[in-house]
Structure 1
Amino acid sequence: VEVNGEKWILSKRHKTKVPFQVKLLDIPLQIIERYRPMQKDNRIFPGLNYWSICKPLKRMIKECGITKNISFHCARHGFATLALCKGMPIESVSRVLGHTNIVTTQIYAKITTQKLDNDLTMFGDKLSKTFNGITMS
């Protein structure tokens, strides 16, 4: 749907039936446009489902010589970690993932050293501004 001139996906999660909304950013919009000529039944990717992605993914992982057990579901963990590292609040990440409890999001989202460093630097900068001009004698 279009909201304030921007495109969003509005739906409900299959597992939890929790409503979710995701803003379509530039790269996903470009992908949608690329596949528009192949659309059927008003679906962007006709015939695409979880299993039609998993089997080719497993084959590609094997062909690349990767022995780690990787699944399509790992993308959710990767998204959560990347979003948090780039400053997205955990409440927003939780909503995008469709979690009913933020504790579930905390399990998914690994706090990296870089995220911790960025957060502490930002906190330090704010403290410095708050106490600007006060020095220890």
Structure 2
Amino acid sequence: DANGTTWIYKPREKTAVMSRIPLLPYPMILLEKYERDAELRATGKLLPVPSNQKMNAYLKEIADICNIPKNLTTHVARHTFACLAVEYGMPIDVLAKILGHSNTNMTRHYTKFSEQLIGREMRKMNEQMFSDDVFLLNQ
């Protein structure tokens, strides 16, 4: 785009709604790694894409190696991304768009609000209230 950001435009699997995803530096490095792969070029793909079943098998293997007792799946990864995005301050409506949700209520099911996030937001509100002299105590 005009800012030099590379985007992926791809229709969503379930809804066929066009998804637009800006690429951060690390994904760009991965794309560069595979850009000359003859097998991928022949199929018209940018990255090797295992099936969902195979990806979940890889995640299970990683969980076993790392002694993670949770059953890791691509769906769990999606939830984790949503929770981290909210923790780092991404607005829920932006996250909904990234996840392909037409309604932010669905997105709210994906996220969990940690005590750290709640505490941070309350501190921000407190700072704004008192720095703007919104509340004047005992005057």
Shorter-chain TM-score range: 0.7 to 0.9
1:113 matched residue in structure 2: 115
Q: 1:93-104 to 2 correspondence within 5 Å?
A: 93-104=95-106
1:27 matched residue in structure 2: 26
- 1:90 corresponds to which letter in structure 2? I
TM-score (norm 1): 0.85
Q: How far apart, CA to CA, are the structure 2 residues paired with 1:24 and 1:36? A: 15
Give yes or no for the alignment of 1:12 onto 2:2: no
Comparing 78-87 and 66-75, the one that deviates more: 66-75
- 2:21 corresponds to which letter in structure 1? V
- 1:10 corresponds to which letter in structure 2? Y
2:82 matched residue in structure 1: 80
Q: 1:119-130 to 2 correspondence within 5 Å?
A: 119-130=121-132
- 1:114 corresponds to which letter in structure 2? Q
How many equivalent pairs are there?
135
Q: Is the 8 A contact 2:56 2:72 kept in 1?
A: no
- 1:124 corresponds to which letter in structure 2? N
Gaps of 5+ in 1: none
TM-score (norm 2): 0.84
1:70 matched residue in structure 2: 72
Comparing 83-92 and 58-67, the one that deviates more: 58-67
**Alignment root-mean-square deviation, CA:** 2.0
Deviation sequence 1:34-55 (CA, Å, 0-9, x none): 2223242342214533233122
Gaps of 5+ in 2: none
Comparing 30-39 and 81-90, the one that deviates more: 30-39
Q: Is the 8 A contact 2:129 2:135 kept in 1?
A: no
1:57 matched residue in structure 2: 59
Pick closer, same or farther for the CA change 1:134–1:34 going to 2, 3 Å. Answer: same
- 2:6 corresponds to which letter in structure 1? K
